[in-house]
Every structure is written in C-alpha cells, then in structure tokens.
C-alpha cells in the first residue's frame, strides 16, 4: 500500500502562533469592536459576547464570572453587564447586522494575500430534538434541530469573508451570489470554487462579473450549450476536455471543508440557545472568533498586523 504523503509543518512557527493566541485575542476583540461599534456601551457588550463565545460550553452565569475574573486581573476594562442583559443582546435580531460588520472587518486585512475563494455549507446541532413519537407519526415539526451555515473563505488563510446562518435549508444559489457580492467589496477575485450544489449558470455569471473564474463540480447532464452564459459553457467544456487541469483548480475547494472542521473542533459544533434569533447570533459570534484566530496566525506567518495599521 502506497504511503500517504505527509506535509511537515514549521513547528517553531506553529508553537509561536499557539502560545500567543489568548494574548492577541483580547487585542483583536478591542480592535474589532472599535471598528464596528460607536457607543461605549455597545463596545462593552459586544466584547463580552465575543469573549463568552470563545469557550463553547460556558453558560451565561459562568461567563459573567469569567469576565469578572479577567477584569480583576486588568486583562479587560469594559463594563460587565448582568448575565440576563448579555442574553437579551444576543437574542436581539439587530445583532445580525453587527455580526456581518464584524466578519467584514475581521477579513479585510487578509485582502493582501487572498485572491482565490471557495464556498460550502454545513450543519450545526442544537439542543432542540424531535421526539420519537413525532417522527413515527409523521407529525409536522415546527422547531428545527439544525442550523445551516453558508460560508465563503479565502483558500490560502481560511478567513471567512461572508457568512449566512439560516434556521432552514434552501436558497443555496441565492446566498452564494450574495456572498460573492460581499466578498468582492474588499477582495480581488481570481478563482472561485464550489461543489455540485452551486453548479448554476447564474453563479458562473456572477463570478465572471466580479472578475473571477468559476470552478464547480460539473455534472454529466450538461447539454453542451451556453444558455446565454458563455462562462457556463467554458467551465463545463474545460472540465470535459482537460479534467486533470480542471481538477487541480477545483480541489482548492477542500480548504473550505478544513475551515468547517477547524471551527467545529475549536469553537464547538453545537448551539445551546432555545430562541431562534439567539441561536443564529450565538453561532455568528463563534465564526467571528474563528476569524480572530486566523488574524493571530497572519501576524506571524504573513506579517500582517491590522493593529499596527
């Protein structure tokens, strides 16, 4: 049996990144809240929520205890609200807009090195489970047991440039085109890859419109026509005529799967809130923390430090 090729990492660099993670985490939290929040009160509350969701299994009361501990050692200086106030802010639907801005601001510094992107979706567990009777009797279930998370990431660093969290499935291609628009505001697009879910004429057209080239998992059902989208025909034809060359570009998509695995391993694969809006925001704060981890890595590996800009 042929041995699998190993990709040795730079252990010195890896150790440096890991050893400075928490020290830099609080600095990046201050940096992002200063960029996004206008009032001192909002900065304090968003900072507390980000620190709370750095740890996946921390309850609201224990989160406040931990925040008070950090403040006693002068690691943080913000006002710490009641745990119920934190829960209310996390539950607020308006927090969706704040999370979008946090994702955008945390990804901007990586525009210097990111030109290739990939999109994928994944499921996140909740604490709401359907009863066996409901499943057996085919009873209509109003509460859903999973969240659907759509992310677009840079292939080189794994930074998340656009994020959509839904309580239901569907509209994958509509969300895809929205994420291409969001990403193109701050990044120059060279290539964009995705699995067969995104194999769509309009998706190809959107990527080409933003200056990129699409690489999707092409299906054999293609009829050989361009159907008003020349990029659609070019992509499918290249996949058919030069499969090895096409696969080399398409395989960049595997990076987004690595990002999903990394986030679930470090920041948790389950949300604990009962209300739908709170579940969406809880998951959103964890993805912002994923981006903060990428910024920590960028400081040492690519010498990109937004704190000094």
Q: Can you read off the two tokens belonging to residue 231?
A: 């990029």
CB 153 within 8 A of CB 161: yes
Q: Which run of H or E residues covers position 122?
A: strand 116-125
pTM of the model: 0.92
Nearest to 253 by CA among 138, 134, 116: 116
Contacts 24+ apart (CB under 8 A), 203-212: 203/173, 203/176, 203/177, 204/229, 204/231, 204/232, 204/235, 205/229, 205/231, 205/232, 206/176, 206/177, 206/180, 206/181, 207/180, 207/231, 210/180, 210/181, 210/184, 211/184, 212/117
Choose among 208, 95, 214, 109: nearest CA to 161.
109
SS3 77: coil
Residue the block writes with tokens 């913000």: 78
Return the pLDDT at 274.
Answer: 86
User: Tokens 């969300």 correspond to what residue?
Assistant: 175
Task: Tell me the average confidence (pLDDT) per consecutive run of 10 residues in the chain, 309 residues long.
Answer: 73 94 95 94 96 92 95 93 94 95 97 96 81 59 76 96 90 95 96 93 94 92 80 91 93 94 93 91 97 96 88
SS3 label, residue 25: helix
Structural contact between residues 155 and 116, judged by C-beta atoms closer than 8 angstroms: yes
C-alpha 212: how far from chain center:
21
Q: Which residues pair with 209 in a beta bridge?
A: none
Return the bridge partners of 216, or none.
194
Q: Give, in order, the Cα–Cα distances in Å from 306 to each of 19, 32, 210, 240, 274.
A: 19, 10, 26, 43, 36
Cα(243)–Cα(187) distance, integer angstroms? 28
CA distance 197 to 121: 10
- Among 180, 176, 210, smallest CA distance to 196 is for 176
CB neighbours of 98 closer than 8 A, spacing ≥ 6? 36, 37, 46
């Amino acid at each position: 049996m042929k041995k699998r090729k190993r990709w040795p990492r730079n252990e010195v660099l890896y150790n440096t990144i890991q050893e400075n993670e928490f020290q830099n985490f609080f600095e990046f939290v201050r940096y992002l809240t200063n960029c996004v929040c206008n009032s001192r009160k909002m900065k304090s509350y968003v900072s507390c929520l980000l620190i709370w969701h750095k740890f996946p299994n921390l309850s609201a009361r224990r989160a406040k205890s931990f925040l008070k501990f950090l403040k006693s050692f002068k690691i943080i200086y913000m006002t710490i609200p009641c745990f119920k106030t934190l829960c209310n802010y996390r539950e607020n639907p308006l927090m969706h807009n704040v999370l979008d801005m946090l994702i955008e601001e945390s990804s901007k510094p990586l525009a210097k090195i990111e030109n290739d992107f990939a999109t994928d979706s994944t499921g996140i567990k909740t604490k709401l489970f359907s009863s066996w009777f409901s499943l057996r009797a085919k009873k209509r279930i109003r509460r859903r047991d999973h969240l659907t998370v759509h992310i677009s990431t840079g292939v080189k660093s794994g930074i998340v440039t656009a994020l959509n969290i839904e309580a239901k499935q569907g509209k994958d291609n509509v969300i895809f085109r929205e994420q291409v628009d969001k990403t193109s505001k701050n990044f120059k697009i060279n290539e964009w890859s995705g699995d067969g879910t995104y194999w769509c004429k309009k998706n190809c057209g959107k990527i080409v419109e933003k200056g990129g080239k699409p690489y999707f998992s092409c299906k054999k059902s293609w009829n050989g026509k361009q159907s008003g989208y020349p990029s659609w025909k070019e992509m499918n034809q290249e996949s058919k005529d030069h499969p090895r060359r096409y696969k080399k570009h398409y395989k960049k998509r595997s990076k987004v799967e690595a990002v999903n695995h990394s986030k679930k391993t470090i920041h948790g694969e389950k949300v604990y809130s009962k209300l739908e809006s709170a579940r969406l925001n809880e998951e959103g704060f964890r993805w912002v923390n994923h981006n903060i981890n990428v910024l920590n890595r960028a400081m040492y590996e690519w010498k990109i430090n937004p704190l000094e800009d």
